[in-house]
Amino acid sequence: MATSCTQRPTLQSNSTALNHFMEKLMTKIFCFYDEQSLIDVTFKFANSTAVIPAHRLILAAASPYFANLFNGEQGNNPVIEINDIDSDIFERLIAFCYTGQTLITVSNVGAMVKAAIVLQLDDAITSCVDYLMTHIGEYTLQAVYTLERETQCELLKQKIIEYEIQNFMEISQSNEFLNFDVERMQRLLESDNLNIAREEDAYDAIKRWFNYDVPARQEQLPVLIACLRLIHFDDDFLFTHIEPLPGCELLAYKALLWTSKPEVRTKINVRFTEPRAISGTNCVGKTIIAVCSSINPKLLQYNKAEDKWEEYASLKYKSQWYRTILKDDDLLFTGGNKKGESLNIVRSWNIRNKTLQNLPAMNQARDEHCVVELDGKIYAIGGSEGNKTLSSVERYTTSDGWKFVNSLIVGRFLASAVSLNSKIYIIGGYNNDKYLKSIECYNPDSNTWTFCTRMTGFHTEPATAAHNGHIYVLSNKDDNCLVERYNPQEDTWSKICSLEVSGNLLAVVSLEKKLWAIGGISAGKTCVSVYDEENDHWEQKRSLPEKDITSCFVVPKALLASK
């Protein structure tokens, strides 16, 4: 029985002494656990031969579940049977009770969350949820939603909301978004921190959600439209987009009245009068970086305010025909060719710190291939090795490294690839010295490739980008850049306005709801062109000081702040 003579106040008066004492105490306790010394309870499992020894006092102190268990009818039993938790997961969480940490992986984190909830280990739940959200690309967003529904974990629910707010543009294009209930939609749209470039982006998301099930959602539409910052739309937008929506006429009228007659604002009920707090990582705070030349490339960044390009960094990288992709804060350089030999190397260059490091090598050496990201995973597709055209495809995750997935139907190199709507599309390229019009679509759920409708023209070393729900394909032919647009919902192609440039057009990106074509030569200068979709023509921006553009990416301006 504890008494008042316990010297806790004295220890607290000297934090160094207290920390030293607690460190020695916990080290000794874990040694007892590790050596199975002074064990007073053992757990066994119905479907396993494993047994897990432990100390009641430690477990009871770590979790109300164990405190109640040991004070209940089974409390004095030397052996207690556990029926609803896997023995391996249980053992990991017992270790957490002793050390405050345990091994969490993408493959076990779901089971860990469920078991930690059962065992009432709040700190373990927090560790698992934090791990889950930082590895959401590998675990997949759909699996996170399923886990939240199964567990009803409040912490996970809150973290998902924060993730949805920060990644709203990506979330709003997912299939899961279409099945959000109106309460979830309202919670997101009301957020002052919703990470969007313009208020029109929130409107577009509402329309996509609404059009998915118009009869069932017609009455709910005004509730969501009222969450928009309506007074920050111009009058034309209110007239042409808001006022025609069923049940939204009064909302549009109030917003118009607010902006046109300031003297009556006190009599008008408008929910939101201030603009959203735009964060530094949204599209307003994004710009383009261009990777120029293959060997020892330069990085240029676009200064939108002054419409000019500035050098950001240069790299020492002595290979060619590699492919580059943006992953978080890093540019990944995959494969390539050096002195006539195809490479399987992968190197990661951190944009912020300007440091280069090696990543696990691909299984297949390849150059002139495609590389694309989908759900946080990197795919290396096709390419060539020496004189051999490759059809192999491999996928990289931080947990498993590179693993082969199903191969292309038709091997190809100098093609282009893009991800859209949770699928990968590989377009054009060469096979046996022949140009390809074909396009293949990869479904990661079934691990299968299928053909889509062929392009109408041949595209030499095409540049592609996903933009406004379509795939744009650009390539040069006879001093003119041909442009086609693919509709994945209808599996159809259409031609749009050509771009009058010559030479190789090597990059195309989507920024601020506009399509940017980087590269090609006109009047001796490297062009930067922006597509005006409404009028079907290209506008010219400030040209680049470099000619050889190998790739371009959209990045947060804050990422380049260390320049």
**pLDDT at residue number 383:** 95
Model confidence at 286, in pLDDT bands (50, 70, 90)? confident
Q: What is the mean pLDDT of residues 387-414?
A: 94
Half-sphere exposure of 292 (CA within 13 A, CB side): 23
DSSP states of 500-552 as a string? Answer: --EEEEEEEEEETTEEEEEEEEETTEEEEEEEETTTTEEEE-PPBS-S-EEEE
pLDDT, residue 11, reads 44
pLDDT greater at residue 429 or residue 2 = 429
Per the CB < 8 A criterion, the answer to whether 94 and 112 are in contact is no
The reported pLDDT for the residue numbered 561 is 57
pLDDT in tens, 440-453: 999 999 999 999 99
Q: What is the pLDDT of residue 8?
A: 47
Task: Check whether 522 has a pLDDT greater than 60.
Answer: yes
Type of residue at 57 = L
Q: Are 507 and 552 in contact (CB under 8 A)?
A: yes
**pLDDT, tens digit, for every residue of 405-428?**
999 999 999 999 999 888 999 999
H or E stretch at 434: strand 434-435
pTM over cut 0.85: no
Give all strands of the β-sheet with 370-374 in edge-to-edge order.
370-374, 377-381, 393-397, 401-405
* Three-point CA angle 426, 427, 430, nearest 5°: 110
In terms of pLDDT, which residue wins out, 451 or 1?
451
pLDDT tens-digit readout, 123-162: 999 999 999 988 887 888 888 989 999 999 999 999 998 9
List pLDDT tens digits, range 48-69: 788 889 898 889 999 999 999 8
Statement: residue 284 has pLDDT above 60: no
> Is the per-residue pLDDT at 249 higher than 80?
yes
- Confidence band of 545 (pLDDT split at 50, 70, 90): confident
Per-residue model confidence (pLDDT) at position 477: 65
Tokens read off for 250: 């009064």
Name the residue among 422, 530, 508 with its Cα closest to residue 463: 508
Higher pLDDT, residue 74 or 268: 268
**Sequence letter at residue 142:** Q
pLDDT at 151: 92
CB 348 within 8 A of CB 357: yes
Which domains, and CATH codes, for the chain?
A: 18-165 (3.30.710.10), 168-267 (1.25.40.420), 292-318+475-563 (no CATH), 325-452 (2.120.10.80)
* pLDDT confidence tier of residue 283, bands split at 50, 70 and 90: very low
- Angle (nearest 5°) at CA 137 between 134 and 138: 95
Checking if the pLDDT of 492 tops 90, the result is: yes
Amino acid at 502: S
Residue with tokens 């120029």: 292
Place of tokens 């392009």: 455
Q: pLDDT tens digit string along 171-227?
A: 898 888 999 999 999 999 999 889 887 888 899 999 999 999 999 999 999 999 999
Residues 6 or more apart in contact with residue 402 via CB below 8 angstroms: 360, 361, 362, 363, 380, 394, 395, 396
Rounded Cα–Cα distance for residues 126 and 437 (Å): 50
Give the distance from CA 475 to its chain's centroid.
28
pLDDT digits 0-9 by tens, 313-366: 988 888 889 999 998 788 999 999 999 999 999 999 988 888 889 999 999 999
- pLDDT tens column, 6-53: 444 444 445 677 777 777 777 777 777 777 778 888 998 877 788 889
- Distances, alpha carbon 307 to alpha carbons 522, 537, 550, in Å: 18, 20, 21
- Half-sphere exposure at residue 81, Cβ-oriented, CA atoms within 13 angstroms: 6
From 371, 272, 383, 393, select the one nearest 323 (Cα to Cα).
371
Distance CA 150, CA 484 (A): 44
Rounded CA-CA distance 44/57 in Å is 18
Q: How many CA atoms lie within 13 A of 144 on its CB side?
A: 27
Identify the pLDDT of residue 505.
61
pLDDT at 282 over 80: no
Give the pLDDT confidence score for residue 376 in this predicted structure.
82
The one-letter amino acid at 427: I
102 pLDDT above the threshold of 70: yes
Specify whether the CB–CB gap between 550 and 297 falls below 8 A: yes
Greater confidence (273 vs 358) lies with 358
386 versus 505: which is more confidently predicted? 386
Joined together, the tokens standing for residue 408 give: 């292309």
Q: Are 221 and 251 in contact (CB under 8 A)?
A: no
Residue type, 517: A
Mean pLDDT of the chain: 86
Could you tell me which residue, 114 or 433, shows the higher pLDDT?
A: 114
